[in-house]
DNA sequence: GACACCTCCTTAATCAATTAAGACCTTAAT
DNA sequence: ATTAAGGTCTTAATTGATTAAGGAGGTGTC
């Protein structure tokens, strides 16, 4: 029961290793009889087929794309946005017949990120905070890499949206409706796990570039509309869940004066805000306007949101990674769009 | 700019390849000075670190788990059950510091499933229909394998629930409430893409073992309660979405006599049934009882459902795959539980 | 008969590392 | 002075395949 390799079979049949290899990969290179004989013996010996790793080494291709998420794996799929993105990426992978190797980012910063040992042809990095060690490891591998959403790395393709513009669009929508008392709930600004009020200094120090930009959009739109940003209650969450949104909602809606509009950076969070509003007997949109982001879970709840082409973004990232010759280091900005539903209206 | 390997560095520094290897993997085997020198030259030459594939070949481990889903990748995550399972599996992988290689099952049966070339240490097979070619390919690799949900493969560990019992539990719940006109909407019985009414013969010929068993549970409970199964309207779906559920709902609720209770095999489908009921002005649970399955999207909608420990199932599958020595080929049956919420009540 | 041309198989280089065992030199203890 | 013990580096086997080039033998053509 020792390991069976091409050589084992070759010895048994009395041919060279090369011949056995041809029997598996190039039937036209040898006679039918011998081929049958070889396959028979291989079967008899319990040969598991040409070793994938050895093949990969010799052929110089891994047949897989590496994928790095900011969140620890178990939570990565809590957000429908991530799921949509993933579906797009998977579609591209499927077309090319390659696998998708999802790399776990260990939560305890101690253990090494298994990037060095990842058998892949390219990396897709999604939403990593500024200066995350895993990014350095990926860059060290010198394989094709594309970044999605953040952080922008000069010299590598980038796919995402215009975050400041998208944030401003969301904010302008409620401002133009006439709201002046705006509240904000955001997740994914920092990765230090903090939850609670965030002052402007902390907001600006966010380690996630995309969210920093989106927030900047909120601020600039408010400022342009004459709303004092320092007075805007800003609640920061460390987890993107409906429950977290509800918590933020309670905090924001207990503020005095109470906001008449709340901006959130995910639809899931916005749903939680709606829950909090319901808890407090507030009607949406009469008493409170709520804006989500991503259009991932928004339709059924009638949420006004910013739609971004998550699947397209994923698919594009995949195609860039799989393109030969390697993709040019373009910065691809996908369009976003305001979808107005029934969660926003003029105040009063 | 040719490829830089250990040898390139060795030649440049004037030492042997082994020494360079030690510089990277075992700092204690050489003097600090030389080590620094080597790392410096490596950096200078743009060395990308020890080649992952070569390392994997030499060390005999891939550092990854292969994952095969029944659905094509882009749709696999439409069901929250899949997401929950995946989170559990990912947690196990994360703990062990290994990656998760998701293998695309090509939709056009023509192209080969890239199982042969997957650089993995073990395979996790989830919900494959009977006789799916990918399973044969996986078995040929002779690596550790566990099956989740279906199909049961003797000689390999299996993780899942007692499907017939779970199905019967769901059915008994509405039967014991007094319902006699029961309807059924199920997805994932066959993989031929058909949607519409299914007679008992087609139901029993389902190619997915787990769903076959679950359906058997519905039937046996009905028969035990004196309900004629042949008279039970049974609508089959090919896609697990809220929209598909709504379609089934319209079909079922147009039946004469109209069912007073509908059993579904996913929560997503059940939500669609609720949509259909709302379309038709039927009140739930007064005019119609609905039962979901999985407790994946059920809570908010107040769905009565069967809860199964999706995360635990995923985690257990992962641990079995990663266990050394390889796990015994046990058949692990996880508990399920009826969660009664507000979507079911006695008829009339 | 000479030459070309197949068909079928072998030789040997190659992919890029890891690591046990051994060589060589220096230092310390007896 | 001798032996032992370390420290540092090298040798060479090993991991399991792929594939260009070449050789042996048979057949076909002029």
Candidate from B62, B72, B77 with C-beta closest to A53: B62
Average pLDDT over residues A300-305: 89
Give the up-direction half-sphere exposure of residue A221: CA atoms within 13 A in the CB hemisphere: 25
* Interatomic CA–C1' length for residue B320 and nucleotide D17, angstroms: 29
Would the pLDDT of B109 be above 70?
no
- Report the pLDDT value the prediction gives residue A317, as an integer from 0 to 100: 96
Kindly list the distances between the CA atom of residue B248 and the CA atoms of A294, B182, B255, in Å, as whole numbers in the listed order. 29, 14, 11
For residue range B225-255, list pLDDT tens digits in order. Answer: 999 999 999 999 998 888 999 999 999 999 9
Q: In chain B, at which residue ranges do the beta strands (DSSP E only) sit?
A: 64-69, 99-103, 122-126, 145-148, 158-161, 182-187, 196-197, 234-237, 261-264, 289-291, 305-308, 331-334, 336-339
Q: How far apart are the first and last CA of chain B?
A: 79
Question: Residue B17: its pLDDT value, please?
Answer: 94
Is pLDDT at A1 greater than 60 in this prediction?
no
pLDDT at A261: 97
pLDDT tens digits for B123-178?
A: 999 988 888 889 999 999 999 999 999 899 999 999 999 999 999 999 999 999 99
Nearest by CB to A74, from B56, B77, B91: name it: B91
Mean pLDDT across chain A, nearest whole number?
92
The answer to whether residues B80 and B268 touch, using CB atoms and an 8 Å cutoff, is yes
How far is the alpha carbon of B108 from chain A, nearest alpha carbon, in Å? 10
Q: For A251, which DSSP code?
A: H
Helix (H) or strand (E) holding A290: strand A289-291
Tens-place pLDDT, residues A228-245: 999 999 999 998 888 999
Mean pLDDT for the stretch of residues A261-283: 95
Percent of chain A residues past pLDDT 90, beyond the cut: 76
CA–C1' nearest nucleotide, residue A31? C8
The minimal CB distance from A140 to the residues B48, B77, B93 is found for B48
Q: Which residues of A touch B106 (CB under 8 A)?
A: 94, 97
Mean pLDDT of A242-269: 95
- The whole-angstrom separation of Cα B43 and Cα A231 is 50
DSSP assignment of A167-226 equals HHHHHHHHHHTT--SEEEEEE-S-SS---EE--HHHHHT-S-HHHHHHHHHHHHHHHHTT
Q: Is the pLDDT of residue A74 over 70?
A: no
Sort out which chain B residues have CB atoms less than 8 A from A74's CB and list them: 87-88, 90-91, 94, 311
Residue B204 is predicted with a pLDDT of 96
Angle at A321 between CA A318 and CA A323, to 5 degrees: 105
- pLDDT score for B222: 97
Interval B34-79: pLDDT, tens = 999 999 999 999 999 999 999 999 999 999 999 998 765 556 666 7
pLDDT of residue A109: 63
Residue among B65, B43, B63 nearest B53 (CA)? B63
Nearest nt (C1') to A29 (CA)?
C8
For residues A278 and A253, the answer to whether their CB atoms sit within 8 Å is no
Burial class of residue B332 in the structure, from the number of CB atoms within 10 Å of its CB (0-12 exposed, 13-18 middle, 19+ buried): middle
Q: What angle do CA A104, A109, A114 make, to 5 degrees?
A: 35
Rounded-to-integer distance, Cα A92 and Cα A88, Å:
7
**Residue A289 DSSP SS3:** strand
Is the CB of residue A2 inside 7 Å of nucleic acid strand D? no
C-alpha distance from A220 to closest chain B C-alpha (Å): 36
CB < 7 A to strand C: residues 1-30, chain A: 14-19, 22, 29-30
Higher-confidence position of A113 and B202: B202
Residue B61 dihedral angles phi and psi, to the nearest 5°: -140, 145
* Three-point CA angle A325, A330, A334, nearest 5°: 120
> How far is it, in rounded angstroms, from Cα B136 to Cα A203?
54
Interface touch A90/B73, C-beta < 8 Å: yes
User: H or E stretch including B22?
Assistant: helix B17-25
Give tens-digit pLDDT for B313-341: 999 999 999 998 888 899 999 999 999 99
Query: How far is residue A45 CA from its own chain's centroid?
Result: 45
Coil/strand/helix, residue B58: helix
Which one, of B269, B283, B260, B268, lies nearest residue B84 by Cα? B268
CA distances from A230 to A113, A198, A259, B85, B99 (A): 39, 11, 14, 43, 44
Which residues are within 8 A (CB) of A17 and not within 5 positions of it... i.e. 6 or more apart?
Answer: A6, A7, A10
Q: In whole angstroms, what is the distance from residue B23 CA to residue B17 CA?
A: 10
Q: Tell me, what's the pLDDT at A87?
A: 85
According to DSSP H, which parts of chain A are helical? 6-13, 17-25, 32-45, 52-59, 73-76, 80-96, 133-140, 163-176, 200-204, 209-224, 242-253, 267-279, 310-322
Instruction: Return the residue matching tokens 């229909």.
Output: B129
Measured over the CA atoms of residue B89, residue B94, residue B96 and residue B97, the dihedral's sign is: positive
Verify cis geometry, omega within 30 degrees of 0, for the bond prior to A151. yes
pLDDT at A241: 86
For residue B54, give the DSSP letter: H
Residue B273 Cα, gap to closest chain A Cα (Å)? 15
> Which residue, among A217, A321, A78, has the nearest Cα to B90 in the 3D structure?
A78
Query: Can you name the residues that pair with A262 across neighbouring β-strands?
Result: A183, A290
pLDDT digits (tens, 9 = 90+) for A110-168: 677 789 999 999 999 998 888 888 999 999 999 999 999 989 999 999 999 999 999 99
Tokens linked to A290: 């709520």
Tell me the pLDDT band of B107, cut-offs 50, 70 and 90. Answer: low
pLDDT at A94 (0 to 100): 87
Chain B environment of A87 (Cβ under 8 Å): 73-75, 77
Other Cβ atoms less than 10 A from the Cβ of B331: the count is 12
Show which positions of strand D are touched by protein (CB under 7 A): 7-12, 14-20
Residue B16 CB in 7 A reach of strand D: yes
Q: pLDDT for A6-51, tens place per residue? A: 999 999 999 999 999 999 999 888 999 999 999 999 999 999 999 9
Contact B100 A102 (CB under 8 A): yes
Q: Residue B74: what pLDDT?
A: 55
**d(CA A53, C1' D15) / Å:** 10
List of residues 6+ apart from A267 with CB closer than 8 A = A80, A81, A292, A293, A294, A295, A296, A297, A298, A301, A303, A305
Q: What are the chain A neighbours of B143 within 8 Å (beta carbons)?
A: 48
The helix (run of H) or strand (run of E) holding residue A124 is strand A122-126
Phi then psi dihedrals of residue B295, to 5 deg? 55, 45
Structural domains in chain A plus CATH codes: 6-50 (1.10.260.40), 64-161+311-333 (3.40.50.2300), 163-308 (3.40.50.2300)
The span from the CA of A45 to the CA of B26, in Å, is: 38
- Provide the mean pLDDT of chain B: 91
Place of tokens 């069976």: A4
Tell me the percentage of chain A whose pLDDT exceeds 70.
Answer: 95
Looking at residue A345, what is its pLDDT?
A: 95
Looking at CA atoms only, how far is residue B53 from chain A in angstroms? 6
Please state the φ and ψ torsions of residue B215, each to the nearest 5 degrees. -60, -40
Quote the crossing angle between the two packed helices B32-45 and B6-13, to the nearest 10°: 120
Closest nucleotide to the alpha carbon of A57, via C1': C15
Please tell me the predicted confidence (pLDDT) of residue A301.
Answer: 82
Covered bases, chain C (protein CB within 7 Å): 7-12, 14-20
Instruction: Spell out the residues 6+ positions from residue B28 whose beta carbon is closer than 8 angstroms to its own.
Output: none
Report the alpha-carbon distance of residue A245 to residue B336 in Å, rounded: 30
Q: Nearest 10 degrees: CA dihedral of A19, A24, A28, A33?
A: 70
- Residue-wise pLDDT for A80-110, tens only, equals 778 888 889 988 998 898 999 999 887 666 6
Residue B26 confidence (pLDDT) above 80: yes
Please calculate the CA angle B113-B118-B122 and round it to the nearest 5 degrees.
Answer: 110
């Amino acid at each position: 029961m020792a390991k069976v390799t091409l050589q084992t079979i070759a010895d048994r049949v009395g041919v060279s290793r090369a011949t056995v290899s041809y029997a598996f990969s190039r039937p036209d290179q040898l006679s039918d009889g011998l081929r049958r004989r070889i396959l028979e013996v291989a079967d008899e010996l319990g040969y598991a087929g040409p070793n994938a790793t050895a093949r990969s080494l010799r052929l110089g291709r891994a047949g897989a794309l590496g994928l790095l998420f900011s969140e620890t794996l178990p939570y990565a799929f809590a957000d429908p946005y991530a799921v949509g993105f993933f579906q797009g990426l998977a579609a591209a992978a499927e077309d090319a017949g390659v696998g998708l190797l999802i790399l776990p980012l260990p939560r305890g910063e101690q253990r090494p990120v298994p990037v060095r040992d990842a058998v892949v042809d390219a990396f897709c990095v999604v939403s990593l905070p500024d200066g995350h060690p895993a990014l350095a490891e990926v860059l060290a591998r010198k394989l094709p890499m594309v970044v999605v959403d953040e952080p922008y790395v000069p010299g590598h393709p980038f796919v995402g949206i215009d975050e400041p513009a998208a944030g401003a669009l969301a904010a302008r929508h409620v401002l133009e409706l006439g709201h002046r008392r705006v509240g904000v709930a955001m997740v994914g600004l920092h990765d230090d796990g903090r939850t609670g009020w965030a002052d402007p200094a902390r907001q600006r120090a966010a380690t996630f570039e995309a969210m920093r930009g989106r927030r900047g959009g909120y601020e600039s739109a408010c400022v342009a509309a004459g709303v004092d940003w320092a007075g805007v209650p800003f609640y920061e969450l460390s987890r993107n869940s409906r429950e977290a949104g509800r918590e933020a909602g309670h905090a924001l809606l207990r503020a005095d004066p109470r906001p008449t509009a709340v901006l959130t950076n995910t639809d899931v969070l916005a749903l939680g805000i709606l829950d909090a509003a319901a808890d407090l007997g507030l009607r949406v949109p009469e008493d409170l306007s709520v804006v989500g982001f991503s259009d991932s879970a928004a339709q059924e709840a009638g949420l006004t949101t910013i739609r971004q082409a998550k699947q397209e973004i994923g698919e594009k990232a995949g195609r860039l990674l799989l393109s030969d010759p390697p993709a040019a280091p373009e910065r691809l900005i996908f369009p976003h769009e305001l979808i107005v539903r029934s969660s926003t209206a003029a105040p009063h």
